[in-house]
């Protein structure tokens, strides 16, 4: 009886008051979050502050050639972005470039992924070699295509034509004759391994027992691909296409290096570069940059939605 009374009287003294418990919990939460604060501050300073500054400048009439006319411009810069002929041309080039590179890379990536999904001698080495183009720095890859492959005098393509057809073989200037396709081919070469990696991951997540059951039931390879493999890869195709589009929309290195934006190949990033550094029109360049960011955000949201759907289905 004496022991029970002591235990009962000691119980309130071991429990912390609600306010004190809440304060301790908050202190524990901050102790866990504190190590992340430097990284969070770094990300905000390096990404959000420049974007906020760009957003503010996009509403200003700010041209370095006319310093006395600097002031608030409202939506005039955005109106000029959407009505200017050169801007519309840059938008068209960006769309054509992105769609062509993503579609061709997806088809080639799917074919290569299906080949690499089969077992053969040296498969690991071949996979590593196929990934290599994606690991090259974009500027270096563009220089490689411009000088080592496309050059009409000492490039590999014209060298092959001479080897096959002799000294009288045609020696086309690949970049001048097909400027946009010269950029597209170089980008496809670099982005096909990226598509191949994602699609290969999708192929290897197929339920092989179901595929084997369909094969035993008499299904042909084309029927298995059409009715089982392709529906299974749908979300992986969407994901790789959206992620590729996010990066190709922002491509600057290949356009700047191969054609310097000439011959009708200036896309939106190159147009922003020209407006900023050549025309010194900081307001219009910032407005065009904001438009590109908003377009990229829309594509990124669709990509994230696809990623979440894949994770949800794989967790079932």
Q: What is the pTM of this model?
A: 0.77
Q: Can you tell me which residue has the tokens 């950029």?
A: 183
pLDDT in tens, 52-95: 888 899 898 888 888 888 888 888 888 888 888 888 888 889 88
pLDDT-based confidence at residue 311 (cuts at 50, 70, 90): low
The model's pLDDT over 255-283, given as tens digits with 9 standing for 90+, comes to: 999 998 888 889 888 988 888 888 888 88
* pLDDT 10s digits, 104-150: 999 999 999 999 888 888 888 888 888 888 888 989 999 999 999 99
Chosen CATH of 83-315 out of 1.10.150.20, 1.10.3720.10, 2.40.110.10, 3.40.190.10: 1.10.3720.10
Domain boundaries, the chain: 83-315
């Amino acid at each position: 009886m004496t022991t029970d009374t002591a235990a009962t009287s000691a119980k309130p003294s071991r429990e912390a008051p609600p306010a004190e418990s809440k304060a301790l919990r908050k202190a524990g939460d901050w102790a866990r979050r504190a190590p992340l604060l430097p990284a969070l501050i770094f990300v905000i300073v390096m990404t959000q502050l420049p974007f906020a500054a760009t957003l503010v400048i996009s509403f200003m009439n700010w041209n370095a050639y006319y310093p006395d006319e600097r002031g608030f411009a409202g939506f005039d810069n955005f109106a000029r972005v959407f009505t200017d002929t050169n801007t519309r041309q840059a938008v068209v080039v960006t769309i054509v470039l992105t769609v062509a590179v993503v579609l061709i890379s997806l088809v080639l990536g799917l074919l290569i992924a299906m080949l690499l999904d089969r077992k053969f001698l040296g498969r690991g080495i071949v996979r590593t070699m196929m990934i290599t183009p994606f690991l090259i720095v974009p500027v270096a890859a563009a220089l490689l295509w411009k000088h080592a492959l496309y050059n009409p005098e000492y490039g590999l393509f014209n060298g092959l034509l001479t080897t096959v057809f002799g000294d009288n073989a045609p020696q086309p200037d690949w970049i001048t004759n097909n400027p946009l396709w010269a950029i597209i081919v170089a980008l496809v070469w670099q982005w096909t391994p990226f598509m191949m990696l994602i699609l290969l991951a999708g192929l290897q997540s197929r339920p092989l027992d179901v595929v084997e059951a369909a094969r035993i039931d008499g299904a042909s390879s084309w029927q298995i691909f059409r009715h089982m493999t392709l529906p299974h890869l749908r979300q992986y195709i969407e994901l790789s296409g959206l992620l590729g589009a996010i990066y190709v929309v922002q491509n600057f290195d290949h356009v700047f290096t191969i054609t310097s934006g000439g011959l009708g190949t200036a896309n939106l990033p190159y147009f922003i570069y020209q407006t900023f550094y050549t025309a010194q029109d900081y307001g219009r360049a910032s407005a065009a940059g904001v438009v590109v960011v908003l377009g990229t955000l829309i594509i990124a949201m669709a990509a994230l939605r696809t990623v979440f759907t894949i994770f949800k289905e794989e967790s079932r």
